[in-house]
Amino acid sequence: MVSKPVSGDARHLHDNVQIAAKILVVGHFAVGKTTFIGTLSEIPPLRTEERMTQAGVDIDDLKGVRGKTTTTVAMDFGRLTLNDRLVLYLFGTPGQQRFVQVWEDMSRGALGALVLVDPQRLKESFAIMDLVEKYGIPYAIAVNNFDGSPTHSEAELREALDLLPETPVITCDARDEKSSAKALVSLVRYLQSRTR
């Protein structure tokens, strides 16, 4: 995305270039992806949520999930301007295995991924982390602290998720703008450090 220069002087053109980065917000079913994008998006977020029905009872595992009545069936989309030069386009992917093709399509062109994990259901994160790694997308981990969630030290989380030492790990509350922004900024800083 390029905004027009204020003057006709070509020397200032580079000052007006706005970088748009595609960021995936991924994670297993019912981890808070839709909430996270809705909390941060500066535009009304695009949501493709549908009411869960009896047809999904044997497919979507609701164990450990409270109050979940809808599920994303295609994607969530939001936008966040970090500064006058950098805009993040946030794409949330469905967390269920049956939507892997959608996930694969959305991964094209992604600069990085923020992997949301539920501290009560850490094992469910492995399938998503495998996909991120399969496509070579650099990522950071954001532990979404739900009400009443157990707390784990960073060392415990790293060991449980089998993370590389350089992979950022941060805790957040997807309902809180400041906390969610901090998680996203940690991913952006990690991506910037990889390009130096």
Mean pLDDT of 104-113: 89
In a domain, 127, yes or no: yes
Count of structural domains within the chain: 1
C-alpha closest to that of 86 among 8, 23, 139, 175: 23
Identify any residues that bridge with 70 across adjacent strands, giving them in sequence order. 51
Mean pLDDT of 32-50: 82
In a domain, 3, yes or no: no
14 vs 185: CA distance, rounded Å: 24
- What is the predicted pLDDT for the residue at 79? 94
Say if CB 51 and CB 60 are below 8 A apart.
no
β-pairing, 19-27 vs 112-117, is parallel
In a domain, 102, yes or no: yes
Helix ranges (H only) for 9-52 are 33-40
Least confident of 9-23, 71-85, 107-121, 159-173: 9-23
Q: How confident is the model over 146-189, as pLDDT tens digits?
A: 887 788 999 999 999 999 999 999 999 999 999 999 999 999 99
In a domain, 5, yes or no: no
In a domain, 145, yes or no: yes
In a domain, 118, yes or no: yes
Residue 7 CB contacts under 8 Å (≥ 6 apart), including other chains:
none
The CATH number covering residue 70 comes to 3.40.50.300
Helix, coil or strand: residue 90: strand
- Residue-range definition of the domain harbouring residue 149: 10-195
Classify burial at 175, counting beta carbons within 10 Å of its beta carbon; exposed 0-12, middle 13-18, buried 19 or more.
Answer: middle
DSSP string for 147-195:
TTPPP--HHHHHHHHT--TTS-EEEE-TT-HHHHHHHHHHHHHHHHHHH
In a domain, 33, yes or no: yes
Residue 10: is its pLDDT beyond 50? no
In a domain, 1, yes or no: no
Mean pLDDT of 51-64: 52
Task: For the chain, give the number of residues.
Answer: 196
